[in-house]
Amino acid sequence: MPSAGQIVYYSAVVAWSAAIYQFLIKDLLSVSLGLGRVIQSIDEFPGYSCSRIQHPQLEACEDLWLDERDRTLYAACGGTQSRMAWNPSISLLNASGRRISGSEFLAIDVDSFGTNGFFSLRTITPTGSFGATGEPTLDALGFSAETIDDQTIHFYFANVPPYHGSLFPASQTGANASVEVFEFKRGNTEMSHLRTVQSPAIWSPNRPVALSDGAFLVTNDHGAKVGWRKQLEPLIGGGNVAYCPASGSCRAATPPPGLDIRKSLKFPNGLTRGHDGLIYVPSSVDGTVAVFALQPDGSLTRVHTVRVGMPLDNISPDARGDLWVPGFPDSRQTMKGLENPYEEVSPATVWRIKRERGAEGEVRNAEYVLEYEVEKVLEDREAKVLDGVTTVVHDVKSGRLFMGGAAVPFMVVCEPRV
């Protein structure tokens, strides 16, 4: 006979898991899969006129960064064919289908960029010796930039090449992940390699963000490189943020997935540091942006959660400090679109998240009192123009939006209609 205490204990466990289960399943169906979601058509957003820009070099530009000072848009582009074979974060691990030359890093003159085909574009070649073969090749996912002075920018790339000369197929090993740091002088066509950061704390890097003096944070978008657990992560959580000091070893900055799976990061994607100094981590599963305060020891304390309500990708601040992030209103289509962007569409949404007010000093229910305005700026149910978007940057000066996608063979520019 179980004791009364045991009965109470087991009932509590059952009630607890039932509550969590209900919450999770509901969340999984409505937020992650988007069942029952009403997706709007691009025609319902007359404020912008959007068009695609086709160019052989502007394929699969997973991430973008706008240098407003120099009026230059930087893009890391992997090539559509190549990304259909090699995209470790979504378990596409056919190393022989990957482009040997890896990704291309491009600088686009933003003021000339448009559909007329006469924009100026130059390739920035990485120099130096890094990687297994010593050849300066990048397999870039997300990247970010740190402005050092008037001339100098440091670029931080999440790099995911296949292992070189491995006896095991990439489907078993995953990628040989690292973060690669480069120094670049504005206007140049080369960037020189500064350092490779490889660590057991970085296994599935998605996007690094520089802090200052060479320290950075990077999201691991999954809890494992390969394997069955990865498939369960939408439910149980996985992935984290790692902190790497300028020298010394990297370590986890967020706690590992715990018993309360609601609190675990789920597919944390391209993070950023806001103008307010807080760290913003979007989720490609649960549709939230987790807001963290960086502690002096490099760890992150969760201070707020912005609920956008659909899976999100890379988040980018504009010159005013507003955050721009693309969403996947139909994530099942998005998965198909990532695997085969020539035949499947991936409807897209563009969100703007604006910090309204709130002081970091004020705390209620263990969260800072922060307020954000979340606004849907664009949505394209049929993916008529916006398709497979994984990053969006806003040019405050012209009001234009620039978008790239991890797999699609084009970029998108949206012009505000005045």
Binding residues (CB under 6 A) for ligand NAG: these are: 85, 94, 96-97, 130-132, 163-164, 166, 176, 178, 196, 198
**Token code pair at residue 295:** 């502690």
Closer residue to ligand NAG (CB): 137 or 316: 137
Nearest distance, CB of residue 214 and ligand NAG, angstroms = 18
What H or E segment, with its residue span, contains residue 9?
helix 4-27
169 vs 227, beta carbon nearer ligand NAG: 169
Between residues 32 and 159, which has the closer beta carbon with respect to ligand NAG?
Answer: 159
Choice between 22 and 171, CB closer to ligand NAG: 171
Q: Which of 229, 180, 177 is nearest to 203 (CA)?
A: 177
Find where tokens 């890097």 sit: 205
Please report the sign of the dihedral spanned by the C-alpha atoms of residue 381, residue 384, residue 385, residue 387.
Answer: positive
Asked whether 217 and 243 are in contact (CB, 8 A), the reply is: yes
Nearest to 107 by CA among 127, 85, 86, 122: 122
Of 151 and 166, the one with the shorter C-beta distance to ligand NAG is: 166
394-401, Cβ contacts within 8 angstroms, sequence gap of 24 or more: 394/66, 394/316, 394/318, 394/322, 394/324, 394/352, 395/66, 395/68, 395/110, 395/318, 396/68, 396/318, 396/319, 396/320, 397/68, 397/319, 398/110, 398/111, 401/48, 401/50, 401/324, 401/350, 401/377
Give least dist CB 63 to ligand NAG, A.
20
CB 290 within 8 A of CB 271: no
How far, in Å, CA of 331 to CA of 33, rounded? 6
CB-based closest residue to ligand NAG: 97
Which CB, 64 or 242, lies closer to ligand NAG?
242
> At its nearest, how many Å lie between ligand NAG and the CB of residue 118?
33
- Least distance (Å) between residue 132 CB and ligand NAG: 3
CA–CA separation, 16 and 14 (whole Å): 5
Q: Which two tokens stand for residue 4?
A: 């009364």
Q: How far is the CB of 385 from ligand NAG (least distance, A)?
A: 29
Nearer Cβ to ligand NAG (99/302): 99
Shortest Å distance, C-beta 352 to ligand NAG: 37
| In the complex, least distance from residue 94 CB atom to ligand NAG, rounded to whole angstroms | 4
